[in-house]
Amino acid sequence: MNGMRGTNMIYKKFDSFSLSDEIKKALHVLDYEIPTEVQERVIPLALEKKDLIVKAKTGSGKTAAYAIPICETVNWLENKPQALVLTPTRELAIQVKEDFTNIGRFKRIKAAAIYGGHPFSIEKTELKQKTHVAVGTPGRVMDHIRKGTLPLSMISCLVIDEADRMLDMGFIDQVEEIIKELPDDRVTLLFSATMPQEIKDLSLNEHRIPTQIDIHEEGSLTADIEHSLFITSEEDKFDLLTDITIMENPDSCIIFCSTKDRVDLVWEQLKKMNYRPEKLHGGMEQTDRNSAIRRFKRGQYRYLVATDVAARGIDVDHISLVINYDIPMEAETYVHRTGRTGRAGHKGKAFLLATPSQDRFIRQIEAFIGFQIKERAVYEKTEVSKARLIFDKKIKAAPEIKQLKSDQLNKGIMKLRFNGGKKKKLRATNFVGVLSNLEGMSAEDIGIITIQDTLTYVEILNGKGPMVMEAMSHTTINGKQLKVTKALDKY
């Protein structure tokens, strides 16, 4: 953790904020004990409903900086969305939604992710049910606004995450359009790693003056990440890549390529060599992309070959090695790619492969990051063959499956399905009322409730599912005896 913090700061605990027990408990399960600097600055002001423009580097804990105060202030009883989070990519939308679900777990916060490539009708149905927080990409959010399927009247907080990336991807006009549709009295929180003029010029809200927060994390890019440069030819690159993997023998490694064809090629070659690699690029189906990330996060695969789709926002615990197989054309991309490692105080390595003619790009990157990347000689073949034995052993061995934080939170959760919903005039409060009055149950044991026309899904926490299922087979809700079964899908 220390790596995320200034050295002469007094460590504050999350307890020092005025947060409810439900939120504190979730932070504890997530192992968030000490707020990061951006969290320490943002949370108190966001709780006071101040507009904020926050400049902070990648990996500094921005998501929780806004998700914690939003989960805290959301009114559970309200059915319409109260917060809207805009993210530049689909992957990030899904991840932020998961972060909200994790942090809001014990308050039963319902978050929905809406993004292009995801069935609109499913999103429409989801948004019709209780949704506290909507997280989405600008294009799809605008679609929902136009079709009237995303009610905005109760939105009291707008978050613009990765604003600089929105600008790069040409989404900033859409963001401005969305801003215009929102109620005037809402809070706006903008987060960005850099502050180009176009972002400073964004008219967030003419009625409110935002507070600027600038998080300087001195040397954050060097403190936890060891940067190295290898000069090689295009022909020798793949051999160098395998030499690096053999010598480093990483537990978890991302290999960045410039295009999806390059990803396919490197992935194919590594696959032939039994690396069991995973791949990720924008040409893949969304469901394949999601499951690739999930499997990689769980540690089912040690190697992920990816385009920059994976560079932004995606958070995988403990990536030990990032390889820039193709040098990024933009210095900022280098920061985002390498920012996948050395996160949350862990150490990481970032290797950059470049050809002699790419010198110009190296200089650009170095100017941007403010230090010289140490050049290393390629490995001696004898060294590599010595390391090979241990490497082969690890490649053949089954990887250690990591427990995702959400798995930890999902432990002890059972989802029950009741054969009655809106048509029987049932509401979430009816379920909370009856379930929390069962012997041995309290409101804290009830998770997310989803009411559909003829069905209701209720998550029961803390291992009390079987007990509740038994009790509800002979307990009525609103005078109705419902059939209760264990839901097949977890989500």
Binding site for ligand ADP (CB under 6 A): 32, 34-36, 39, 58-64, 315, 317, 343-344
Instruction: Name the minimum Å distance from CB 59 to ligand ADP.
Output: 5
- Rounded to whole angstroms, the Cα distance separating 278 from 296 reads 7
Instruction: Name the minimum Å distance from CB 95 to ligand ADP.
Output: 7
- Rounded to whole angstroms, the Cα distance separating 95 from 405 reads 12
Nearest CB to ligand ADP, comparing residues 61 and 447: 61
Nearest CB to ligand ADP, comparing residues 126 and 315: 315
Report what 64 binds from Mg ion, ligand ADP, none; CB cut-off 5-8 Å by kind: ligand ADP
- Rounded to whole angstroms, the Cα distance separating 319 from 302 reads 9
Contact predicate 300/399, CB 8 Å:
yes
Nearest CB to ligand ADP, comparing residues 32 and 351: 32
Report the SS3 class of residue 451: strand
Instruction: Name the minimum Å distance from CB 60 to ligand ADP.
Output: 4
Give me 375's structure tokens.
């050049």
Instruction: Name the minimum Å distance from CB 194 to ligand ADP.
Output: 13
One DSSP character per residue, 3-67 reads: GGS-TTPPPPPGGGS---HHHHHHHHHTT--S--HHHHHHHHHHHTT--EEEE--TTS-HHHHHH
Nearest CB to Mg ion, comparing residues 123 and 162: 162
236 DSSP 8-state letter: T
- Rounded to whole angstroms, the Cα distance separating 354 from 347 reads 23
Helix axes 237-248, 260-272, angle to 10 degrees: 60
Instruction: Name the minimum Å distance from CB 390 to Mg ion.
Output: 36
Nearest CB to ligand ADP, comparing residues 5 and 260: 5
Report what 387 binds from Mg ion, ligand ADP, none; CB cut-off 5-8 Å by kind: none
Binding stretches for Mg ion (CB under 5 A): 62, 313
- Rounded to whole angstroms, the Cα distance separating 102 from 209 reads 31
Instruction: Name the minimum Å distance from CB 87 to Mg ion.
Output: 8
Report what 60 binds from ligand ADP, Mg ion, none; CB cut-off 5-8 Å by kind: ligand ADP
Report what 264 binds from ligand ADP, Mg ion, none; CB cut-off 5-8 Å by kind: none
- Rounded to whole angstroms, the Cα distance separating 415 from 449 reads 9
Report what 36 binds from ligand ADP, Mg ion, none; CB cut-off 5-8 Å by kind: ligand ADP
Nearest CB to Mg ion, comparing residues 134 and 311: 311
